[in-house]
């Protein structure tokens, strides 16, 4: 390894350890991130098209696809058929394919049963067996 004096004698600069690495971008300030997130929050709250398009984009849908799915279901949950203001986009966790729109309760129920039809059938059998008629 060459010493510091050797670098000084040749008149060249001493290379820094990461000289071959590209320079990093300067991180945005916390205030700038807060302001951008705040603008996004306000827009999400005030503009239904922006909110729905943002949600649909996470699942590979366009706003038109999302609106068509909403129209096909009559703006109601695909399981309980209750019309609610906010519908969750239900998707298969294995394939990523969108299955439909569900209310928060039905979507949570499917999630708690890990999308396992055997567990859902067992829960249904339990309810039938324990329901008084």
User: Are 63 and 88 in contact, with CB atoms under 8 Å apart?
Assistant: no
- The residue that leads in pLDDT, 108 or 1, is 108
Domain boundary among 72, 93, 117: 72
How many domains, the chain?
2
Please state, for a pLDDT cut of 90, what percent of the chain lies above it: 66
The pLDDT of residue 27 is: 80
Domain boundary among 72, 95, 120: 72
User: Are 91 and 59 in contact, with CB atoms under 8 Å apart?
Assistant: yes
Do 128 and 81 share a domain, yes or no? yes
Q: How confident is the model at residue 56 (pLDDT cuts 50, 70, 90)?
A: very high
Report yes or no on whether pTM surpasses 0.95. no
Instruction: Kindly state whether residue 110 falls inside one of the protein's structural domains.
Output: yes
Residue with tokens 């695909």: 78
Range of the domain at 57: 35-72
**What average pLDDT score do residues 7-24 get?**
61
Instruction: Kindly state whether residue 105 falls inside one of the protein's structural domains.
Output: yes
């Amino acid at each position: 390894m060459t010493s510091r004096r050797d670098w000084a004698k040749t008149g060249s600069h001493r290379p820094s350890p990461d000289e071959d690495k590209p320079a990093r971008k300067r991180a945005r300030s916390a205030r700038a991130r807060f302001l951008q997130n705040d603008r996004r929050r306000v827009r999400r709250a005030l503009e239904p098209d922006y909110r729905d398009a943002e949600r649909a984009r996470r699942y590979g849908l366009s706003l038109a696809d999302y609106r068509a799915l909403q129209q096909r279901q009559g703006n109601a949950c695909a399981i309980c058929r209750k019309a609610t203001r906010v519908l969750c986009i239900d998707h298969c966790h294995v394939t990523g394919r969108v299955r439909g729109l569900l209310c928060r309760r039905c979507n949570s129920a499917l999630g708690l049963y890990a999308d396992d039809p055997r567990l859902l059938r067992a829960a249904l059998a339990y309810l039938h067996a324990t329901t008084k008629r």
